[in-house]
Structure 1
Amino acid sequence: MQIYLPNQLKIGLAGGIASCLLVLLIIPLQATTYLDKWGYPRQTVSIDVSEKSLLEIFDTIESKSDYVFAFDNKNHDFRAVRLTLKFDQALIDDVLRSIEQKTAFEFNRINKVISVRKKRVDQPYLERDLKGLVKDALGETLPGVNVMVKGTTMGTVTDIDGEFSISIPDEEEIILVFTFVGFGSQEIAVSDQSFLEVVMEDDVQGLNEIVVTAAGIERNSNTLGYSVSTLNSDEVSQRNEPDPIRSLTGKIAGVNIQGGGGVAGGTTNITIRGNSSLGNNNQPLFVVDGVPFDNSSFGPVDGENQTQSAQSTTNRSFDIDPNNIASMTVLKGAAAAALYGSRAANGAIIITTKTGSTGRKGFEITFNSSYSQERISGLPEYQRVFGQGTSWDYRPGVYGSYGSPYSSRETIPHPLSPSYTSEDFPEFYQADGVTPLEVPYQSYAGESQKDFFRVGNLLENAISINTGNEKGGLMIGVSRMDNKGIVPGNEVSRTSFNVGGNADLENGFYVRGTISYVKTNQQSPPIGGRSSVMENLLYLANSYDLTNLPYEHPLTGDNVFYRAIDNPYWSVENSLSTSEVNRYYGNISLGNQITPWLDVKNTFGFNGYTDERTSVLGQGSSRYAPGAINTDHIFRQELDNTLLVTAELNPTENWSFRAILGNNINQRLTRRTAFQGDQIIVRGIDDIRNTTTITLADIPNNQALVKQRYYAFFADLTFDYKTFASINFVGRNDVSSTLPAENRSYLYGGVNGSFEFTEAFNLNGRTVNFGSLRIGYTKVGNEARPYQTINVFNANREFGGLGSPFSNANNSNVSTQTMSDLMTNSELQPEFITEFEVGSEIRLWQSLVTLDVTYYNKKSTSQIFVVNAAPSSGYLTRIINLGETSNKGVEIGLSASPLMSDNGLNWNINANFTRNRNKVEDIGDFAQLTYGGNVHIAGMPYGMIYGTGYARDQDGEILVNPQTAKPIASASSIPIGDPNPDFMLGFSNSLSWRGINFNFLFDWKQGGDILSTTIGQMYARGMIKDSEDRPHMIHQGVMGDVNTRTPLLDENGNTIPNNTAISYNEYFFSSGFGPGGLDAANVFDATVIRLREVSLGYEFPKSLLASTPFGSVNISLSGRNLWYLAPNTPEAMNYDPELSTSSSNNMGYDQLGVPPTKRYGVNLSVSF
């Protein structure tokens, strides 16, 4: 594979490779060991120092062993004591005794912790012994807790059982200080007790203080002037969900995630604070370890007999291994993402991967294994009264169930006899070979569909090794995931290899690096849209026994079905699409802490993949008997380099200042080549060379070769006053290759600030212990797509390419090129998004309740959109800047801990609420702009569903055709639905008690319309239980004139109600599916309430594991999508609106997608 590298990045790449080698070579030295009285290794060390301080000697011993020193550095200057020591593989205990003989200090080692204190010569007071036990909130004992007598050097640490014994001054009252990593420090007064039991509390506030923001900058969450949300590793990796993006669903305000139904490896769409761009991408930027991560998905290629129309492909965020994620932070607004440039105009998702723990001693091995089963979440309730046919007459060739009732006859001729002779299938005929065999006329409704779907499964195993010392850390991880979907032939697998490391070098230098390789294989039959498995399965005629009738010819292997339709069982064996993705990504950071206040860091990142796709329409298909094989090769590469210079100063006692100056260079390259093979030669060999004719396929949107680059300079300036006020200024200047020379440089930025009023006015109390306000205003640019400023020529698929091969006297079959039918724009400008945000966070009753409220107002202007061109121009379409959209909304986050008992029972609640209102403010001189199936109209919500609607009178009454009794269609396509939800709500609960954890998450999406082809076709073909009772019906409305689309009036000038009855067959099945084929009849409210997640886990007590090699053991049961309610869709459909097959810009459509699944699983996590 060839890597295309700009000159500016060559130095960064060379340095990056060297830095990566450094990271991989820094592994803690392991000393020779013996066992001590606690069963821990007694370690040896070689040391040769001359006139080194005691502190330097401590550092040397720590770097060469698993021991750590605990001491009070404030009261003793260990730098002032200098020694000369020389030992070769000596026991560390012997080294310590030698130091004791030469200094005024003595040592006490318990397990791996060595406490240091000054020798006691003469005690001016009496001492007494105090014993105790230290536990956590769950009642588990804590080894290694530091116990110090406040104001002295007297101290000890707890042993493996959490017990301690210490000599304390025999005074009226002393204070003991207990400290341990991850727990809040505790001071306890001791009077005359002889035994003390201490419970350490988690330092939750401290753990949540620092968040990763734009450009990898770490900031205290209390000082941010904008809203961010973070999920930790457990919330991402331990949910039996292979797609890390779906793990965000229902957990973060402002984030709307739409899954791809029950397809294994299906596409996931995500938007933050609504859609803004009319024609550009609306999904957020993904950033992994500071480097942009391509999440795009590529649609199918074009061409005759093309096989990819119903192919399922995933977006590339699926390549991220959830087991390797340390944290995932969502930057919602423009202020948060401004430093990432134009690609983050729609927000950013910042993923930090695991890189090893600095300060760790020895190795930690973690193994995770999970297994889940998937079942279809719900099938429609089929009617079992009427069989195949129409107008209450059995007809074997009709793909519908409006035939005669089952009670009307006992048998029917074999349903496949009209399509196949007795020579092919003698079992279809009686002995004479002419008369079709009579078979029972009965319903198989629901049984055929249920038998077709299988029980899917998900198996994932991951192992990681974490090691390090005080100078660095290293993490190596390997995982394998296999997911078999509920549709036969649909499966996806992912194999990941991840390495991450960090090291602190000499002279202030440090290096960080990660590298990952992922191989993702996906396979699926045609399972979405028209001519797909789902279409041929869901509304299969009720009287057809799909399970037991043959699906392929026993001699030829050809498809066996009827009406020139492929049998679903035949499709899943013969018409598969496959995708093999090989992806590599990573980064290398090399920095130097030049002075205590100045830091320089350069990060080089790389991110690329190849996607080899093969799509087959099997030989013998009823759609195209010769068969076809398409191949599609996609190569994507991104290189990114960021230089950061950070200065932090404290000019006065009350003021602090931080300035970050940066430079960013980015290059993206896409190459795509697709071929189409026609007429398969040998059945079963899915290689395009096994076809008679191979032609070059059309690549959509001129994406055969795309190369783009930008570079940028940016600044981030922060001023802090004391600890309660902060103001932040950001600015960035991008220079993009996708814009014309005079417009390719554009500047944007913003300002945001926070004010902690409880601290400023000393309002901290027992009720309100924290309160802050934040406010920000930011402008962000959004670059154009490549090749929209200069017209380019396109190579034609075939030689000649002008309708017939071009030839002349000297040459024939000359390759030709044609000009694109799109008129580009040499004056194109970038889109801009401006956003105002204001919010507040209040914490009550010592943070038992936290309320966070945000209001935002976002506007997108100078939209880039493709519109129709004037016929005189010679082009079909042209690109222009026009239009404005707006998104206004409220986000509310609430967390509470209503129960925190002494016996370890804790209950935590988290809820989030989002209400977004978007609107197309302006589209220039155009009445409307169409994007796919959606339409943008000034003054209306973004992306209205567009189709044929009902003709209505001025009072809104539907006009009915007096001749047919069917509703009259609108004169042209009109907006018929709003796909944007009214609000979204997530509500989670977590209960824990003595290692037992129970969690569940509900989410509620209210409103938003969906145009469901699935529901429409099921009713149109008479499949649903609701249609078992089939009397004549009367459509509500008033009589209307079909030509003028105005109401008919009686002699008194009043409208005439429709009282003409019509049969169900005529209403749904005849003259177009649905009521006269109207799209509006198939638009439904997509409200859905769902039990998204449930888990029950148990973490084994450390006391039970003390005599085992395990450091921790956790086992849990989990479930996803176990229950849902869609109250505004037909009850008998059991319809789940989440099967929407829409993309982020094409919203509110269901094109016969695979229903979502229920998932039940078990997870085991072990470390040692």
Structure 2
Amino acid sequence: MQKILPILVPLALAVTLPAYAQTRQATGQVLNATDRTPLPGVSVVLKGTTTGTATDPDGRFSLPLPADGNPVLIFSFVGFEPYEVKVGDNGTVPTVQLREKTTELNDVVVVGYGSQRKRDITGSVASISAEQVAETPIARADQILQGRVSGVQVTQTNSEPGGNVSIRIRGTNSINTGNEPLFVVDGFPGAGDLNSINPSDIESIEVLKDASATAIYGSRGANGVVLITTKKGKVGKGTINFEAYTGVQIVRHKYELMNAREFAQYLNDVNAGSTTLPQPYTQEQIDALGEGTDWQDAILRPARLSNYQLGFNGGTEETRYNLSFNLFDQEGIILNSGFKRGTVRLNLDKKISQKLSFNFSSQVAGTFEKRAFVNSQGGSFGGALLDALRFSPINPVRDENGNFTYSNTPLPYVEDVGNPVAFAEKVKDHRTTARGLFNVAANYELLPGLTLRVSGGLDYNNQQTDVFRPSDVFLGRLTGGSANRTQQNRYSWLNENTLTYDRKINNNNALNVVVGISEQQFYGNDFNSSVNNFFTNTLGSDNLALGANIQTPNSGKYTNTLASYFGRVNYRLFEKYLFTVTMRADGSSRFGANNKWGYFPSAAFAYRLIDEPFMKDLTYLSDLKLRVGYGVTGNQEINNYQSLARYDVGSYAAGTTRLVGLVPANIGNPDLRWESTAASNAGIDVAFLENRISITADAYYKKTTDLLLRVATPRTTGYGDILLNAGSVENKGFEFALNTTNFDTEAFGWKTNLNFSLNRNKVLDLYSVTELPVGASSSSLFVGAGLGNTSILREGEPIGSFYGYEFDGIWQTQEEITASGTKTAVRPGDPRYKDQNGDGSITAADRVIIGRAQPKFIYGVTNGFSMGGFNLSIFIQGVQGQDVLNLNRYELESGITTTNKLKTVVDRWTGPGTSNTIPRAGSTIRRSTGIVSDVLEDGSFVRLKTVTLGYTLPKFSKVLKQASVYVTAQNLVTITNYTGYDPEVNSFGRDNLSLNTDYNAFPSTRSFTAGVKIGF
């Protein structure tokens, strides 16, 4: 052995030393190209060998390499495109960024009571991801739908912070009942107002549009369904995410009003020739006046906007969590207005065993609104904004002593209204809401593929409104100060039990069956108390006992129940023939004793033509699927107890005693039942060039029958109307969505999303009449001014048809008036209207349809660009062919002759040939006539809605996983011919019968924000 060792040792060294010399290390890091976060578990293999490793939790790797040459490494990871890179001479590898595969067809889409692969969908379903939600700083979750989903029209009915939006999915189905979609948050249907939902918590939004998709929700599916899924915990190392943004809002557009000099001259012209009053101003006084007070500037301000979000996410295979905290604060551009929201959300998923798991989702939220523009002059409309448009610019905001100018002067030449700045600063109108939304579910696998799910939920909503009008402002002068407090409690509980069988039977057959039962109960109680004649304003409404005059309080309580049975079968044959059948039975306490239950079936079929063998040669096609479906859904959105004969409280005075009793309120209808919408849909999904171009197109037809319609009754009944199932409405339309990947390289990316929709609405039947004048203004302050109804329901015409007189210029001379033979008392300078029936008089019989509120089509275009760490998103929204009734112009061009006017009135008629559009000063013909075509405007617009520029910082710390900054501009540019604050408006909110009406609407804003996102 001693003789052999001297030989073996040098030999071993000769072998091992060269081998040692030929070995070196390749090191580097792998990131997700989308958000530049580390990717653990990525396979790293030396090309041409089996030598490999995997990245650690920070995405880093180390791999031994041969000494010679420039070897190539192959990186691969599930869900990502494979990537190859050549190693440098010194063994260094540039940071690798893996791009996610384009596998949209295998994406899972949430549907009612389950989920499906996108490739297996048979109905019309649109989806919005968390990334799309995060692109735009928004206050409400439903705002993200605007312009981003075909077939969905979203209107910001009120731009006030915390204000509502109105959503129409495939048109307006109903006349007297709700047209808003059903919102389902984490499986809880009927989530209602979304003001308390934090948009940053949303993982995805699905919009179910056709009957085959919505029929699973039966009596609440006729107006479409919006499914909101919040973020869940993800398996892996816990993460902490923080986001903050802040910005400023400015008014987008103002009315151009008369200045002090112009208004003084206008008042003189109004009173010219008066035998009872001298002219209010001498020419010398007028010449001495300047611009005066711009009351819009006095009450409008730049307003700040801020949002803070802190989230914790993580977990194991057994327990996953997502916890978030949010604070949102938005000032209103009108003084003393704003909206605040604070939320806490906790979502937990717990796997007890291989068969048993639990899911828990919860959110607690509080909101606070300060409103400064409603309830002025004691009416349903008005406030600081309306008074700012009407108040004399000759008056200052404060007098020489620094006190607010109390009211408008000089009387009686001007309308007696209060100082709008004093109103905004001193009148209190607050609304506070506390809401909790909870849902818990247990899932147990009874047999392979068969799962039982039992869930329970609670939605609690407490709202308090607090109003105080002090005695030292104009609004409170007549009552000596007044206070009102309203308390509303709303809550509902839900229990749902489902069985799901999901099994691939063999290579050619797959079956998914869901059956379930559901019960949901709704409760509510209200209390309202009002007091006036306060001897001090010090405590406001905090002590109602300080008011000497106590008004009669009101209170109420209600409940209703919805019980349901439902089922759905999805069958997949040969991976290309897709069948869906759905049935739901709903029983509602809202309907008559003879019709408590309604039944809502649907069926759909889809044919994946792309999977046929004869399509294989069409290599440019990536996907081709044809869809057809038909179903029946319902609408139950009426007030409680409408089918019953009810009583109201009645009272009268007997001397000094108030006697209280009951009076019949309505005629009962035991046959009252659901509105029923039968809908058919035909669609196509097609994609080209490996899904770089994808198109979805749908055509649909909907007919709603058994409308819940208020029908006039003979006076002999003692009632004005009765709620019946009568009449029908149709909607038909076309939708188109295009998604393209224009460039997709390491250096530059560009994607485009476009959607286009058109809908045609028509009233088919109105039961006992062929037309019915309607409009919310029929119950507003305009009644006393003779405005009357603004719209008409007419068979063969769409809902939202404006009804009034056709403007025909200005009467120029007395000779012209005499020659016309008109019997209407007019003077030169008064507006002229078309005598449609030729009887020589302008009467109600001369009214015609002068415009339509519903647009011809709507669209939206989003372009997203990426270059290095930069990303840019540009979103354009458009509405074409809608009319807007500008009732502000109705007031500010003539109307009340003693208020300030638009600048256009400076060029009013002053003699023959001077104007054929603006009447003479003091003309009241327009106001006493009713709705006229010259205040109906084209409300079409194209809006650069959102522009966001972001930058993702390079990774510079092991602790910091992601950091980015961004700036966003909203409502940057609006191209429109509309002269009001904004063409996207409806002062009557979600009222179906007064669409696109602009009167004292909160001005829209242009906003600029800057934000940061940090992940640990």
TM-score when normalising by structure 2: 0.85
Q: Which residue of 1 aligns with 2:103?
A: 205
Q: Which residue of 1 aligns with 2:798?
A: 941
Q: Secondary structure at the match of 1:572?
A: helix
Change (3 A) 1:160 1:833: closer
Q: Which residue of 1 aligns with 2:239?
A: 364
Deviation (angstroms), 1:857: 0.7
Q: Which residue of 2 aligns with 1:307?
A: none
Q: Which residue of 2 aligns with 1:745?
A: 597
Preserved contact between residue 255 and residue 270 of structure 1 (Cα < 8 Å): yes
- Cα distance in 2 for partners of 1:683, 1:135 equals 63
Preserved contact between residue 186 and residue 228 of structure 2 (Cα < 8 Å): yes
- Cα distance in 1 for partners of 2:393, 2:369 equals 32
| Corresponding letter in the other structure for 1:209 | D
- Cα distance in 1 for partners of 2:279, 2:908 equals 12
Change (3 A) 1:967 1:410: same
| Match of residue 251, structure 2, among 348, 367, 376 | 376
Q: Which residue of 2 aligns with 1:656?
A: 510
Q: Secondary structure at the match of 2:1003?
A: coil
Q: Which residue of 2 aligns with 1:1116?
A: 966
| Match of residue 897, structure 1, among 730, 741, 748 | 741
Q: Which residue of 2 aligns with 1:987?
A: 861
- Cα distance in 1 for partners of 2:717, 2:365 equals 48
Deviation (angstroms), 1:142: 5.1
Q: Secondary structure at the match of 1:886?
A: strand
| Match of residue 499, structure 2, among 621, 645, 648 | 645
Change (3 A) 1:814 1:160: closer
| Match of residue 997, structure 1, among 861, 865, 871 | 871
Change (3 A) 1:159 1:581: closer
Q: Which residue of 2 aligns with 1:105?
A: none
Deviation (angstroms), 1:394: 7.2
Preserved contact between residue 388 and residue 396 of structure 1 (Cα < 8 Å): no
- Cα distance in 2 for partners of 1:616, 1:1072 equals 37
Deviation (angstroms), 1:208: 6.5
Deviation (angstroms), 1:862: 0.4
Alignment of 1:445-464 (within 5 A): 447-464=294-311
Q: Does 1:1016 align with 2:1016?
A: no
Alignment of 1:744-783 (within 5 A): 744-761=596-613, 763-764=615-616, 765-783=618-636
| Match of residue 223, structure 1, among 120, 140, 148 | 120
- Cα distance in 2 for partners of 1:1029, 1:174 equals 82
Change (3 A) 1:487 1:199: closer
Deviation (angstroms), 1:467: 2.6
C-alpha distance after superposition, 1:1015-1070 (max 9, x if no partner): 22222266333343345477xxxxxxxxxxxxxxxxxxxxxxxxx87798854642
- Cα distance in 1 for partners of 2:1005, 2:417 equals 27
Change (3 A) 1:176 1:342: farther
- Cα distance in 1 for partners of 2:682, 2:402 equals 62
- Cα distance in 2 for partners of 1:451, 1:740 equals 54
Q: Which residue of 2 aligns with 1:1155?
A: 1003
Q: Which residue of 1 aligns with 2:486?
A: 632
Q: Which residue of 2 aligns with 1:844?
A: 688
Deviation (angstroms), 1:326: 1.4
Deviation (angstroms), 1:130: 8.5
Deviation (angstroms), 1:573: 2.4
Deviation (angstroms), 1:768: 1.4
| Match of residue 321, structure 2, among 455, 462, 474 | 474
Alignment of 1:333-348 (within 5 A): 333-348=210-225
Deviation (angstroms), 1:929: 3.5
C-alpha distance after superposition, 1:501-534 (max 9, x if no partner): 1011125100001111111111112348643211
Q: Secondary structure at the match of 2:474?
A: coil
Preserved contact between residue 640 and residue 665 of structure 1 (Cα < 8 Å): yes
Change (3 A) 1:896 1:585: same
Change (3 A) 1:172 1:239: closer
Q: Which residue of 1 aligns with 2:392?
A: 541
Change (3 A) 1:405 1:241: farther
Q: Which residue of 2 aligns with 1:352?
A: 229
- Cα distance in 1 for partners of 2:69, 2:586 equals 69
Q: Secondary structure at the match of 2:387?
A: helix
Alignment of 1:948-959 (within 5 A): none
Preserved contact between residue 287 and residue 350 of structure 1 (Cα < 8 Å): yes
- Cα distance in 2 for partners of 1:138, 1:862 equals 51
Alignment of 1:766-1165 (within 5 A): 766-783=619-636, 784-794=638-648, 796=649, 801-804=650-653, 815-820=660-665, 822-903=666-747, 905-933=748-776, 934-947=791-804, 963-965=826-828, 966-968=831-833, 969-972=842-845, 974-1020=848-894, 1023-1032=901-910, 1066-1067=919-920, 1069-1073=922-926, 1078-1102=931-955, 1104-1106=956-958, 1109-1127=959-977, 1129-1130=978-979, 1135-1138=982-985, 1140-1145=987-992, 1146-1165=994-1013
C-alpha distance after superposition, 1:964-987 (max 9, x if no partner): 253244425654321101110101
Q: Which residue of 2 aligns with 1:284?
A: 181
| Corresponding letter in the other structure for 1:496 | T
Q: Secondary structure at the match of 1:239?
A: coil
Q: Secondary structure at the match of 1:319?
A: coil
| Corresponding letter in the other structure for 2:227 | I
- Cα distance in 2 for partners of 1:1012, 1:182 equals 53
Deviation (angstroms), 1:947: 4.4
Q: Secondary structure at the match of 2:236?
A: coil
Deviation (angstroms), 1:672: 1.5
- Cα distance in 2 for partners of 1:140, 1:617 equals 55
| Corresponding letter in the other structure for 2:483 | I
Deviation (angstroms), 1:1140: 4.7
| Corresponding letter in the other structure for 2:1012 | L
Q: Secondary structure at the match of 1:650?
A: strand
TM-score when normalising by structure 1: 0.74
Deviation (angstroms), 1:150: 9.8
Preserved contact between residue 909 and residue 919 of structure 2 (Cα < 8 Å): no
| Corresponding letter in the other structure for 1:538 | L
C-alpha distance after superposition, 1:535-570 (max 9, x if no partner): 11023334333477778569xxx6676643111111
| Corresponding letter in the other structure for 2:652 | G
Q: Which residue of 2 aligns with 1:313?
A: none
| Corresponding letter in the other structure for 1:737 | S
- Cα distance in 1 for partners of 2:585, 2:911 equals 65
Change (3 A) 1:852 1:551: farther
Preserved contact between residue 368 and residue 1164 of structure 1 (Cα < 8 Å): yes
Change (3 A) 1:551 1:930: farther
Alignment of 1:605-620 (within 5 A): 605-620=457-472
- Cα distance in 1 for partners of 2:401, 2:683 equals 64
Alignment of 1:373-772 (within 5 A): 373-384=248-259, 386-389=261-264, 393=268, 409-411=283-285, 440-444=288-292, 447-527=294-374, 530-546=381-397, 552=403, 563-625=415-477, 626-687=480-541, 688-696=544-552, 704-761=556-613, 763-764=615-616, 765-772=618-625
| Corresponding letter in the other structure for 2:827 | T
Structure 2: gaps spanning 5 or more residues: 1-21, 777-790, 810-819, 834-841
Number of residue-to-residue matches in the alignment:
934
- Cα distance in 1 for partners of 2:64, 2:105 equals 33
| Corresponding letter in the other structure for 1:1112 | Q
Of all paired residues, the percent bearing the same amino acid is: 22
- Cα distance in 2 for partners of 1:397, 1:352 equals 66
Deviation (angstroms), 1:194: 8.9
Change (3 A) 1:1142 1:948: farther
| Corresponding letter in the other structure for 1:566 | G
| Corresponding letter in the other structure for 1:211 | V
Change (3 A) 1:1160 1:208: farther
Change (3 A) 1:332 1:1019: same
